Structure 1
Amino acid sequence: MEIEPLRINGVLLITPRRIGDERGYFAETFRADIFAQHCGEHSFVQDNESLSARAGTIRGLHFQSDPHAQGKLVRCPAGALFDVAVDIRQASPTYGQWVAETLTPENGKQLWIPPGFAHGFCSLEPDTVICYKVAGGFYSAECDKGLAWNDPAIAIAWPDVVDAETLSAKDRKQPLLADLPAYFSWSE
């Protein structure tokens, strides 16, 4: 497994090694010992999956606050997605900054998004599937929070295929970063 730190501390790009032949390939997509060595000890509590039927579908930016904060290990087994993490840890040197990766079945890349980050994505192809392992807390409606996907203060460079008409009612009314309470704080 190749583990690559991205420009925001804590977010990692994980690329499993594939062993292949004319039949296809085999890959370990998760190993607890290697993950813990690079990402710390996290207890995975649920696996989630969603399908975006249309290219350009925007979902997010989402996170859960304490006491049910979540980390996510994200991958794309069908289609393609532009996956984004935004640092929302108050006092972090990268507060309000974002990183993104294109995840596809072909590249096999996964993105580790620890607690303290908002997460969102845009489907780049029809019938895109996102799967993610959730660490920390189970889903909690009371702790389910969000951030405006198009906040100009964050200025995510979304792909040209973005279709704002695909936003859920919940995502249409998320707050700007400037209006977001301090759900997470940064510590070295």
Structure 2
Amino acid sequence: MNLDFRPTRLPEVIEVVIEPHVDERGWIGEAWHTWQFATAGLPGAWISTKFVESTCGVLRGLHWQRAPHEQAKLVACHYGEVFDVAVDVRPDSPTFRQWVGVTLSHERRNLLFIPRGFAHGMLTLSPTSRCSYSVAFSGHHPESEDGARFDDPAIGVVWPAVPAVITSAKDAAWNPLA
């Protein structure tokens, strides 16, 4: 059982694909392995894991935590399908405001690694999705929360079409990324 680490067009954001062992019972594969993550240059000390269930059109994000409480995330979709997005929010980065999106699902056997300094957002494409995300480097610190509107024209995320977008009042109130 191996993991295939595939850089996206933002090379610090990595799609992780599970290469499972398949037999007559189904399949088994590792979603995380300390040695394989370390070899790929990714963190392996996850602090917490959250589970999220959403209905079609629910859009969560764009969120991140400011220093000194920046987080890296490892996102997986265990049921249904989501479009998962990472946006570079580091003002001094040559890829500032650039984004990458990856469709995650159990069938695709993929996860998305989002490093510190990147915002995260997800849109549920299926009738229901059940996802998890593990965080590294820091737990949740409300005083360090930050965000940007999912439809910020300076970022320009091209979200897949859904019947209606459902977002929280908090997410709708974020300002554009400065």
Q: CA RMSD in A?
A: 1.2
Distance across 1 between alignment mates of 2:120 and 2:163: 16
Equivalent residue, structure 1, for 2:13 = 11
Deviation at 1:163, TM superposition (A): 2.6
Distance across 2 between alignment mates of 1:73 and 1:34: 14
The TM-score normalised by the length of structure 2 is: 0.95
Q: Is the 8 A contact 2:71 2:116 kept in 1?
A: yes
Greater CA drift, 37-46 or 63-72 = 37-46
The one-letter amino acid of 1:147's match is A
Q: Which runs of 5+ in 2 are unaligned?
A: none
Q: Which runs of 5+ in 1 are unaligned?
A: 179-188
Q: 1:162 to 1:71 in 2, by over 3 A?
A: farther
Deviation at 1:130, TM superposition (A): 1.3
Greater CA drift, 33-42 or 134-143 = 33-42
* Superposition pairs of residues 91-130 of structure 1, within 5 angstroms: 91-130=92-131
Identity %: 39
Distance across 1 between alignment mates of 2:83 and 2:102: 6
Equivalent residue, structure 1, for 2:157 = 156
Q: 1:162 to 1:86 in 2, by over 3 A?
A: farther
Deviation at 1:161, TM superposition (A): 0.5
Equivalent residue, structure 2, for 1:48 = 50
Equivalent residue, structure 2, for 1:66 = 67
Distance across 1 between alignment mates of 2:77 and 2:154: 28
Q: Is the 8 A contact 1:103 1:110 kept in 2?
A: yes
Equivalent residue, structure 1, for 2:175 = 175
Deviation at 1:162, TM superposition (A): 6.1
Aligned length: 176
Q: Is the 8 A contact 1:68 1:138 kept in 2?
A: yes
Q: Is the 8 A contact 1:10 1:39 kept in 2?
A: no
Deviation at 1:36, TM superposition (A): 1.5
Q: Is the 8 A contact 1:42 1:136 kept in 2?
A: no
Q: 3-state DSSP class of the match of 1:177?
A: coil
Deviation at 1:92, TM superposition (A): 1.1
Distance across 2 between alignment mates of 1:23 and 1:168: 41
Deviation at 1:45, TM superposition (A): 0.4
Q: Is the 8 A contact 1:63 1:119 kept in 2?
A: yes
Q: Is the 8 A contact 1:151 1:177 kept in 2?
A: yes
Deviation at 1:18, TM superposition (A): 1.0
Q: 1:172 to 1:162 in 2, by over 3 A?
A: farther
Equivalent residue, structure 2, for 1:185 = none
1:96-124: CA deviations, max 9, x gaps? 00001000000111100001000001000
Q: Is the 8 A contact 2:43 2:136 kept in 1?
A: no
Distance across 2 between alignment mates of 1:162 and 1:57: 10
The TM-score normalised by the length of structure 1 is: 0.90
